[in-house]
Structure 1
Amino acid sequence: MKIVQLITHMNEVGGAQVHVRDLSKQLAYDGHLVTIISGGDNIIAEDLLLEGVTYTHSEFLIRNINVFRDVLAFFEIRKILKKVQPDIVAIHSSKAGIVGRLACWSTRIPCVFTAHGWAFTEGVEKKKQLVYRQIEKCAGKLSKKVITVCDQDRNLALRHQVLMPEKVITIHNGVLDTKNAALKKDNSEVVTIIMVARFEKPKQQLELLEALLHIKELNWHMIFVGDGNLKQESAQFVQDNYLGNKVTFLGSHSNVSELLSAADLFVLTSEWEGLPLSILEAMAHRLPIIASNVGGIKEAVRDSENGFLIQDNLSELLSRLIENELLRKQMGEKSREIYEASFTFEKMYAKTIATYKNLIVSGDNL
């Protein structure tokens, strides 16, 4: 197959970008011709570069709504698609999802849109929810198939009548296993807590720091992996509350797997999510999880089995796992069991490529 992966940007590493990278790598390895079209700045993050894959930059495709640039992006992507002539276009992220589906519809090229969390999900500002919901309803009329990465997002789309039931399927996110995933952690009295997420509004690292401040007398060390606009706010909180010896900010890191293999507990305090890859990666590394009960997280984190879902009791949950090594290990083993059963890359890849083939066989994009 000749496949185009279209995404709003590949400038920085995020869940959708990692998904596109890993999917494209396997597709190329299996002999398919893969082109990645991305907007944003004309750079590709080093961790997202692949051999055997063609990268094409869209000058006008940007994340924020800009009617003039969005129209130009439509014509630009349409032109690129006519030149590449793919068998199918796989589209990722909200803005690319709108512009890309219009371009594919106009060229009658089959396409599938993967929603890595809806822009109208609960937790997003109400006015934005309304606007994005209406936009997605319009785009949904042009869609032959939409993939949601969790059942929660599929149900959300159906509840708001964004898509007809026959147009939307769930293919749960899956992540690659690593050689470090099965390694046992070194025994240490200090419990290493890790959070892997960009420092932006949905992730709420400050909420985690506030919870840790209440239990600062316990034996823990917090590691934050990621960069972003709100990082300085968290760093200032650490300084103001004399937590510098208990909190480390690593910024972006090229080997998150190594960090996860050395950790004891994974935490994610998001305000909204789809089904974050970071949680699945932590589960593959046999980590217990504490996470917000938003989006599709509860489909991976089974409360009181492989971790806890936060219910205004974050400090209490942290204390329970910091002070109970046996419980951490039991929940960590359950995380690995759930990962192997439902969230491997191989399972996700097989379902995704089957969807591609079915769309190609069924004909045009109308």
Structure 2
Amino acid sequence: MRIIQIIDSLEAGGAERMAVNYANTLVNEIEFSGLVATRKEGSLLPQIDPNVSYLFLNKKGQLDIGALFRLRSFVLKNKVSYVHAHSTSFFLAFLLKCICPFLKIIRHDHYGNNEFLAARPHFVLKLTAVFFNGVIAVNQRLKNWSETELKAKNVIYLPNFPVTETGVEGYTSLKGEEGRRIVSLANLRPQKNHFLLLEVARKLKQSHPEWTFHLVGKDFEDEYSRHIKGLIEDCGLGNNVFFYGSKQDVQHILSQSDIAVLTSQSEGLPVALLEYGLCKKAVVVTRVGEIPMIVQHGKNGFIVDSNETELFYESLVDLIDHEAVRSDFGSKLYDTIQADYTAESVIEKYLNWMRKN
């Protein structure tokens, strides 16, 4: 099999990480594995396996004919048979199919606003659905949505999976006191609901002032970001909440932390949670998307509703006050990830499904 992954950018987001993970994992499993970034490169670029054939299109606008034909040349040169399009890059895959009808194209749905699917724009998705040989959904809700709303055929649910970082030097040093750090891996987007995190941080400052929050993720420097930073200043949290931006050395960062959190009001299947589990971190997370399929409350972590500020705070304090519980939850979450969310198990299902297309 000869497969390329297509993704709009290589910024450190969930869909972007999965495009790289698929390309890297497949390089030892199939005849040819490639990766195409269409619009922008980013911090994930150094994490691409040297054996993966990589192309940056530098695409300008929705209809960039030059970029489309550069992609066509790459496909023909490498005798590509399958195009695996992640997120919004599906439209470029559709255009490519129009000029290379022999190609089999797959759409990978990473849509994160799962709690608001009814409002999801889907005219173009529905218009192009018939051209795709299959759809991969990162959770069951997205699978059902594609089948119901798009009348898509051949839809499969495949969970995201984490991979151990290779060739990434640990360079980020977290601030705060060792043994008292809480980390959040989440880009600064509204669906990640950093307002809940700040409310919890405000309460924790009163009860456990030595504990600090460490926010790792891309800062888009927009209104949402300015609002978050304004609240930090207004609440006097400058010495309790720290920003680091987008980072490559995620596992090194997690090795310096003691608890990991997700405060999202909507998710698909967050790669961050899988990385928490891979690094044996005790977690407090919100009950959205596919998270309840991974975290069982009181067994391998704490999970609360996204509007339960008090319960989130109390769960966090429970972990802070009981180191043995942190250790136990971290080990059990790791076991959960190893049982159901490894690259090996997902890629095996993926390749079996692809061969039937």
**1:336: which partner in 2?**
334
**1:345: which partner in 2?**
343
Structure 1 distance, partners of 2:262, 2:216, is: 11
Structure 1 distance, partners of 2:183, 2:42, is: 29
Instruction: After superposition, give the CA deviation of every residue in 1:155-203 in whole Å (9 maximum; x if it has no partner).
Output: 3333x33244x51111111112469xxxxxxxx8953211011112221
Distance 1:61 1:316, change over 3 A: farther
| TM-score in terms of structure 1 length | 0.81
Residue 136 of structure 1 deviates from its aligned partner by 2.2
Q: Which among 276, 287, 296 is matched to residue 282 of structure 1? A: 276
Unaligned residue ranges in structure 1 (runs of 5+): 180-187, 360-366
Distance 1:44 1:222, change over 3 A: closer
Structure 2 distance, partners of 1:61, 1:355, is: 33
**1:161: which partner in 2?**
149
The two structures, once aligned, show a CA RMSD in angstroms of 2.8
What does residue range 191-202 of structure 1 map to in structure 2 within 5 Å?
Answer: 191-202=180-191
Q: Which amino acid aligns with 2:216?
A: V
Residue 341 of structure 1 deviates from its aligned partner by 0.7
Q: Which among 281, 285, 289 is matched to residue 291 of structure 1? A: 285
Residue 354 of structure 1 deviates from its aligned partner by 2.5
**1:364: which partner in 2?**
none
Residue 337 of structure 1 deviates from its aligned partner by 1.5
Would the aligned equivalents of 2:104 and 2:132 in 1 still touch at CA under 8 Å? no
Q: Which amino acid aligns with 1:319?
A: V
**1:184: which partner in 2?**
none
Distance 1:262 1:103, change over 3 A: same
Residue 37 of structure 1 deviates from its aligned partner by 2.0
Residue 224 of structure 1 deviates from its aligned partner by 0.8
Residue 285 of structure 1 deviates from its aligned partner by 1.6
Structure 2 residue 260 is the aligned partner of structure 1 residue 261: no
**1:171: which partner in 2?**
158
Would the aligned equivalents of 2:20 and 2:35 in 1 still touch at CA under 8 Å? no
**2:314: which partner in 1?**
316
Structure 1 distance, partners of 2:70, 2:165, is: 38
Structure 2 distance, partners of 1:170, 1:125, is: 20
Would the aligned equivalents of 2:37 and 2:56 in 1 still touch at CA under 8 Å? yes
**2:169: which partner in 1?**
none
Structure 2 distance, partners of 1:152, 1:42, is: 30
Residue 349 of structure 1 deviates from its aligned partner by 1.9
**1:14: which partner in 2?**
13
Instruction: After superposition, give the CA deviation of every residue in 1:246-289 in whole Å (9 maximum; x if it has no partner).
Output: 22222222311122123222111223221011100101122222
Structure 2 distance, partners of 1:249, 1:118, is: 23
Structure 2 residue 116 is the aligned partner of structure 1 residue 123: yes
Would the aligned equivalents of 1:290 and 1:317 in 2 still touch at CA under 8 Å? yes
Structure 2 residue 197 is the aligned partner of structure 1 residue 208: yes
**2:170: which partner in 1?**
none
Would the aligned equivalents of 2:12 and 2:218 in 1 still touch at CA under 8 Å? no
What does residue range 68-107 of structure 1 map to in structure 2 within 5 Å?
Answer: 69=63, 77-78=71-72, 80-94=74-88, 96-104=89-97, 106=99, 107=101
**2:56: which partner in 1?**
57
Residue 52 of structure 1 deviates from its aligned partner by 2.2
SS of residue paired to 1:86: coil
Structure 2 residue 138 is the aligned partner of structure 1 residue 140: no
Would the aligned equivalents of 1:3 and 1:86 in 2 still touch at CA under 8 Å? yes
Residue 343 of structure 1 deviates from its aligned partner by 1.0
SS of residue paired to 2:247: coil
Q: Which among 215, 226, 233 is matched to residue 224 of structure 1? A: 215
Identical-residue share of aligned pairs (%):
24
**2:3: which partner in 1?**
3
Distance 1:9 1:252, change over 3 A: closer
Deviates more, 1:196-205 or 1:347-356: 347-356
